[in-house]
Amino acid sequence: MKEGARVGYAARRLDRLEEAARAAGNEAFAVECDVCDEASIQAAVATAVAALGGLDALVYTPGIATFQPLAEIDADCWHRVLATNLIGPSLALRASIAHLEESRGKAVIVSSIVIDDRPPRAGNAPYVVSKTGLETLVQAWQGEHRAVGFTAIAMADTLTEFGQNEALAQLDRMQELVQDWVQDGYMYGRTMDPESVAEQIVSALKSRETVRRVAITPHYSADPNGVSEIWSE
Ligand SMILES: NC(=O)c1ccc[n+]([C@@H]2O[C@H](COP(=O)([O-])OP(=O)(O)OC[C@H]3O[C@@H](n4cnc5c(N)ncnc54)[C@H](OP(=O)(O)O)[C@@H]3O)[C@@H](O)[C@H]2O)c1
């Protein structure tokens, strides 16, 4: 926004979007959208294209996680995670691709650094699997649509509302899981600010070339073995 771009925000809670659009200024606008519903995505993209006179970029950020062992994950849980994290981005690209091709624009899709962890973080499998598939999906879209530049941003733990409801519902288990992740060397002793990730998104959008993948993690804290402050309650 500071770069002068005109932006539309899309998500389910319109009141929060409208507040964000007001704060952003530069005629930013809000569009209600549920990425688990293809008609809703198509309507949101059509609204944005009409308001902007086209589309230079799509940034896909929605993602949800679960914090349960695989043996507890039922079909409904798999469907929910994959709908938001894997199918949603493909449907959003499907709705936008003709406009992005016309502008020879950019698509930035937010992934997660957890897919680089081996073995995957215990208790987080549907999320890890969905984001692993997501990065392959981004490459597949790039292969089929050369006029558009696709970027996957693999981000590490960042202080947002991400996973809070799921985590708060089972706080004891979360503390154990995070201790395990710390022992496995998967945490950094601190979390990042969302602005650090936003800078990478803007940088990929502004780049004259296609940035294929960005991986961003916190700079290690003085105590990299500490539990990240996000779960320290
Ligand atoms: N925060 C982290 O530690 C972290 C680490 C690695 C990767 N990531 C990834 O970063 C991305 C952004 O996460 P975040 O930290 O910003 O999470 P967040 O604070 O939970 O925000 C998620 C956003 O997505 C929207 N959203 C969720 N489900 C949606 C749906 N069905 N349809 C439309 N919008 C939906 C939410 O708005 P509504 O609820 O109003 O729809 C909200 O604005 C995610 O893809 C996540 O996997 C996050």
Give the per-residue pLDDT at 224.
Answer: 66
Q: Is 226 inside a domain boundary?
A: no
- What average pLDDT is seen over the chain? 94
* Residue 221 confidence (pLDDT): 84
161 domain residue, yes or no: yes
Of 8, 124, 88, whose CA–CA distance to 55 is shortest? 8
Q: Is residue 6 part of a domain?
A: no
Is the distance from the beta carbon of residue 96 to the nearest atom of ligand 1 less than 6 Å?
no
218 lines ligand 1 (CB under 6 A): no
**Domain span at residue 208?**
56-216
Taking CA atoms only, the protein residue closest to ligand 1 atom 25 is 62
Looking at residues 97-122, what average pLDDT do you find?
Answer: 97
Residue 227's pLDDT band (cuts 50, 70, 90): low
Task: Judge whether 60 lies within some domain.
Answer: yes
pLDDT digits over 143-160, tens only? 999 999 999 999 999 999
Given a cut of 70, is residue 92 above it in pLDDT?
A: yes
**Average pLDDT of span 217-223:** 88
Name the percent of the chain lying above pLDDT 70. 95
Average pLDDT over residues 167-178: 90
Confidence of residue 233 (pLDDT cuts 50, 70, 90): very low
Q: How far apart are CA 116 and CA 120, in angstroms?
A: 8
Q: Tell me if 28 is assigned to some domain.
A: no
Say if ligand 1 is within 6 A of residue 38 CB: no
Tell me, what CATH number does 94's domain have? Answer: 3.40.50.720
Q: Find the mean pLDDT for residues 108-113.
A: 98
Whether 180 maps to a domain, the answer reads yes
Is ligand 1 within 6 A of the CB of residue 157?
yes
Q: How far is CA 180 from its chain centroid? A: 24
Query: For a substitution probing ligand 1, which of 162, 181, 228, 229 has the most ligand atoms within 8 Å of its CB?
Result: 162
How far is residue 132's CA from residue 138's CA, in Å, rounded to a whole number?
A: 10
Mean per-residue pLDDT, 207-217: 98
Percent of the chain at pLDDT > 90 equals 87
Q: What average pLDDT score do residues 63-90 get?
A: 98
Cα(132)–Cα(124) distance, integer angstroms: 12
| Residue ID of nearest Cα to ligand 1 atom 14 | 162
C-beta 201 within 6 A of ligand 1: no
Does residue 29 lie within any of the structural domains? no
Question: Mean per-residue pLDDT for 24-29?
Answer: 96
Is the pLDDT score of 3 beyond 90? no
Number of domains in the chain: 1
Asked whether residue 168 is domain-assigned, the answer is yes
Q: At residue 231, does pLDDT exceed 60? A: no
Residue 232: the pLDDT is 46
Q: Which pLDDT score, from 0 to 100, does residue 226 have? A: 64
- The pTM score is 0.96
- Residue minimizing CA distance to atom 32 of ligand 1: 34
Ramachandran region, residue 189 (left: φ > 0; alpha: ψ -120 to 50; beta: rest): left
DSSP-derived 3-state class of residue 118: coil
